[in-house]
Amino acid sequence: MTAVDATAQALGLRVGMPVTKAQALVPGLVIEPADPKADAESLERLALWVLQRIAPIVAVDPPDGIVIDSTGADHLHGGDAAMLDALIGRLTLSGVSARAAIADTWGAAHALARYGSNPVLIAMPGASIDMLAPLPLEALRLSPAIPAGLRDLGFSRIGDLIGQPRAPLTLRFGPELSRRLDQALGNSAEPIEPLRPEDMIEARRSFAEPIAAAETIARYIGKLVATLCEALEVRGLGVRRLDLLCHRIDSRVETVRIGLARPVRDPQRLTRLLCDKIETIDPGLGIEIMTLTATLAEPMTERQAVSHLIEAPEPDLSGLIDTLANRVGARAIYRFAPVASDVPERSVCRIPALAEETGAGWPDHWPRPSRLLPRPDPIETMALLPDDPPNWISWRGVRRRVRRADGPERVFGEWWKRDAELVAVRDYFRIEDDAGERFWIFRAGDGEDVATGSHRWFLHGVFG
């Protein structure tokens, strides 16, 4: 048996078990013949999907992995952790269960993803050695005979090997062990050969003399973008993800990825977006090859600019949104839209900034505060139960006498979402203190039945 799923594992089946034994253990077992070629093909398809959505340098790590160089792309996702969350979330939605780790080197990430205790793990820079030390020897990507031999000698963890003299081990097991260990610890480089599908549109430029100055890089970006846009125009495509790869003379690759909200092939705009990112490129001793790839290209229809005699044309904001998204991340730019819910924090959702206008708003029966606290702040009060607003409240150490009040506005729990909210109630009041400051406070519970809430008071928002 070469692979078992979670259900089979629960039944006691393991990889490496003979099929006959498995059939004896579980009657009526469904067995699919292994098809390594199809597996490799689908892994490559998955890697391509990751390439288009997550990062510019992605390669297949056979038989069961994908290696991603996340440098230069995390800004589009809002940081490493958010990127990993998004990746795992989207894989889970499409029915793929995955484990992931971010570490300093390919070797360390490979080991931590497969043998680490957490399914999603981010190793801080420089902490890889400590995290690798307790892992078993198989995590080092060695041929199967070596871990067995090492175990005979009394080594069981990677940590045991780290301080050992290399010469005797190399003499016995060959150079592979030292190489893999150095690669995992980051002592020797291991470049990732990026996956490039055949029909990808690419512009490439090699330099006789390595370049390093920002102005020179900017000039060549302009030339590459012009070439790429011509190729895009021939096929009628616009670019959604654009990757700039700068191969340095010390064989490292610096990457820049640009994301766009709509397909674009305007050389000026693309050049500007790429040039904004020049400061993130570290040219080192010089760049010898620059390639620009349209990783994700979509058909683009040219629209005729219709001119109205009366109305001014609607200004195009997609350029601004792209510039901002490449600066602060696409998730940080949004519009709010109403959700049919009485619970204030659930009544808004975020939609993409360029989504169609909904025209919808919120019900206008009650005033709503302009600022809502991220989570309700507990306050001390003195109030007459069940219906009256408090006489005074004490928030952040300041006691305020309630001068005027409106309420209660009763909000019922959404029992169709969670059983625990079946009887939950919040009573909202709008209060004003002596100085005229207006707050939105609520009591958890209806003031009579303890089952409906704790009867504690919270401050939820501030009115203007």
Partner 1 sequence: MHELAISPAIAALRVRIAQLEGDGARAREVLPFGVPSLDRKLPGGGLALGCLHEVAGGGNGAVDGAAAACFVAGIAARTQGKVLWCVAQQDLFAPGLEQAGLPPDRVIHVEAGDDKSVLACMEEGLRHGGLGAVVADIARLPMTASRRLHLAAKESGTIGLALRRWRRQAEASDFGQPTAAMTRWRISVLPSRPLPVPGVGRARWLIELIRARAGESLDIELEACDGSGHLGLPADMADRPAAAEGRRHSAAS
Pairing, β 398-412 against β 348-352 = unpaired
- Decide if residue 76 touches partner 1 (CB under 8 A): no
Residue from 83, 256, 273, 431 in contact with partner 1 (CB under 8 A): 431
**Binding segment toward partner 1, per CB under 8 A, in 151-159, 227-235, 397-405, 417-425:** 397-405
Q: Is 367 in the site for partner 1 (CB under 8 A)?
A: yes
**Of 55 and 405, which CB lies nearer to partner 1 in the complex structure?**
405
Q: Assess 317 for contact with partner 1 (CB under 8 A).
A: yes
State the minimum distance, in angstroms, from the CB of residue 336 to partner 1. 4
Interface pick for partner 1 out of 319, 376, 390, 453 (rule CB under 8 A): 319
Q: Is 157 in the site for partner 1 (CB under 8 A)?
A: no
The smaller minimum CB distance to partner 1, of residues 145 and 435, is found at 435
Peptide bond just before 194 cis, omega within 30 deg = no
Residue 366 or 415 with smaller CB distance to partner 1:
366
Task: Tell me whether residue 373 or residue 423 sits nearer to partner 1 (CB atom).
Answer: 373
463 binds partner 1 (CB under 8 A): yes
Q: How far is the CB of 352 from partner 1 (least distance, A)?
A: 10
Interhelix angle for 318-328 vs 267-275, to 10°? Answer: 20
Structure tokens at 237: 């495509």
Using DSSP's 3-state secondary structure scheme, residue 133 falls into: coil
Which of 14, 153, 336, 448 touches partner 1 by CB under 8 A? 336
The reply on whether position 204 binds partner 1 by CB under 8 A is: no
Q: What pairing do the DSSP bridges indicate for beta strands 201-211 and 457-462?
A: unpaired
Applying CB under 8 A, does 339 fall inside the site for partner 1? no
Q: How far, rounded to the nearest angstrom, does the alpha carbon of residue 461 sit from its chain's CA centroid?
A: 31
Site size for partner 1, by CB under 8 A? 52
Selected from 35, 282, 316, 387, the binder of partner 1 by CB under 8 A is 316
The answer to whether 190 and 107 are in contact (CB under 8 A) is yes
3-state secondary structure of 449: coil
Q: How far apart are CA 143 and CA 180, in angstroms?
A: 11
Query: Which residue, 37 or 371, is less far from partner 1 as judged by CB?
Result: 371
Q: Which range, of 2-10, 122-130, 290-298, 364-372, touches partner 1 by CB under 8 A?
A: 364-372
What is d(CA 72, CA 252) in angstroms, rounded to the nearest whole number?
Answer: 13
Q: Which is nearer to partner 1, 202 or 437 (CB)?
A: 437
Q: Does 39 bind partner 1 (CB under 8 A)?
A: no
As a whole number of angstroms, the distance between CA 356 and CA 349 comes to 14
Only segment of 13-21, 89-97, 132-140, 351-359 that touches partner 1 (CB under 8 A): 351-359
Q: Hey, what long-range contacts does 167-170 have (CB within 8 A, 24 or more apart)?
A: none
Q: 44 vs 48, 49, 59, 199, 418, CA distance in Å?
A: 6, 9, 8, 15, 40
- As measured in angstroms, the least distance from the Cβ of 338 to partner 1 is 7
| Burial class of residue 184, CB neighbours in 10 A (0-12, 13-18, 19+) | buried
CA R_g for the chain: 30
Assess contact for 108 and 131: CB atoms under 8 A: yes
β 100-102/120-122 pair status: parallel
Q: 126: alpha, beta or left, given left = phi > 0 and alpha = psi -120 to 50?
A: left
Angstrom distances, CA of residue 237 to CA of 205, 230, 307, 353: 22, 10, 25, 23
Containing H/E element for 402?
A: strand 398-412
The only residue of 338, 346, 378, 410 in contact with partner 1, by rule CB under 8 A: 338
Confirm or reject binding of residue 94 to partner 1 (CB under 8 A). Answer: no
Q: Which of 333, 379, 383, 393 binds partner 1 (CB under 8 A)?
A: 333
Q: Is 441 in the site for partner 1 (CB under 8 A)?
A: no
Applying CB under 8 A, does 390 fall inside the site for partner 1? Answer: no
391 binds partner 1 per the rule CB under 8 A: no
Q: Which residues contact 172 (CB under 8 A, 6 or more apart)?
A: 149
Q: Does 373 bind partner 1 (CB under 8 A)?
A: yes
Q: For the chain, how many residues are written?
A: 464
Residue 221 exposure: Cα atoms within 13 Å on the Cβ side: 28
Binding pattern to partner 1, positions 110-139, x when CB under 8 A? Answer: ------------------------------
Q: Which of 18, 154, 299, 359 binds partner 1 (CB under 8 A)?
A: 359
In the complex, minimum distance from the CB of residue 372 to partner 1, in angstroms, rounded to a whole number: 4
Q: Minimum distance from CB of 461 to partner 1 (Å)? A: 6
Does 337 help bind partner 1 (rule: CB under 8 A)? Answer: yes
Q: Using CB under 8 A, list all residues that contact partner 1.
A: 315-317, 319-321, 323-324, 327-328, 332-338, 344, 347-348, 353, 357-362, 364, 367-374, 403-406, 430-432, 434-438, 461-464
